[in-house]
Amino acid sequence: MGTCNGKISRQCVGLVLRKLFRSKFSKLTVAIREGNLGLVKQYHSQNVNFNQILPNGDTLLHVAAKYPSFEIVKFIANNIHALKFNDRNYLGDTPLLIAVMNNKYEKIDHKERPDGSSKNNKGNKADMGDKNMTKKEGFPIIEYLVKVKTVNVNLAENRGFTPFLAACANGDPKLVQFLLDNGANYKVKSKDGQTGMHRAAFYGNEEIIIY
């Protein structure tokens, strides 16, 4: 086994990263990442700070959109009055853009326990590294942010990629149409000149190209 004394080993790097993770991400953030709505509600009732900003500039809504659980996104959005839905992290990502980029999968709902812990419901899990992920149907988080919270659908991250360009890369024609119906600019280009057609072609999304 490697140690952190002397030559750097793969095990040492992993240990350092784990320590950094534990030091920078609060228990609340971990609960959101794990899709544990019961624990999130418990922390909220204990007046835990829901307006915290993570080291990469993420708000808790960014985290909920990245590890998507619709109920957690809705709970955060409805209970954090100082929340700004168009806030960007250090990469320029908005919660909407993150939700679009992560649209293909969502967290499995958890059964809440009185102590705030959880137990997964059985379901059709996706073939992914995260055992709590399942294949996604529809895009409720995106619909909620756009229709209910009226976020800006054309805000781009630092490289110029918008939710529309991300949707073209993901390959869901219904999502592309939804964004267009709600004001997305289909003529937009990233800073290196990529259009929606470029993104769809690069990821082999024939449905989008034909569409």
The CA-atom distances, in angstroms, between 206 and each of 169, 193, 202 are: 11, 20, 10
Q: Which residue, among 102, 48, 116, 113, has the nearest Cα to 73 in the 3D structure?
A: 102
Q: Is the confidence at residue 115, as pLDDT, over 60?
A: no
pLDDT in tens, 27-38: 899 999 999 999
For the entire predicted model, the pTM comes to: 0.74
pLDDT at position 161: 96
pLDDT in tens, 2-18: 445 555 455 664 555 45
Q: Is the confidence at residue 126, as pLDDT, over 80?
A: no
pLDDT in tens, 129-184: 454 544 456 899 999 999 999 899 999 999 999 999 999 998 889 999 999 999 99
Q: Tell me, rounded to whole angstroms, the distance of Cα 66 from its chain centroid.
A: 1
* C-alpha neighbours within 13 Å on the C-beta side of residue 36: 19
Q: How many CB atoms lie within 10 A of CB 120?
A: 15
Rounded CA separation 191/132 (Å): 35
- Higher-confidence position of 25 and 209: 209
Categorize the per-residue pLDDT at 206 as very low, low, confident or very high, splitting at 50, 70 and 90. confident
Q: Is the confidence at residue 98, as pLDDT, over 70?
A: yes
Lowest mean pLDDT, pick from 115-124, 127-136, 173-182, 194-203: 115-124
pLDDT at position 132: 52
Structure tokens at 145: 């942010």
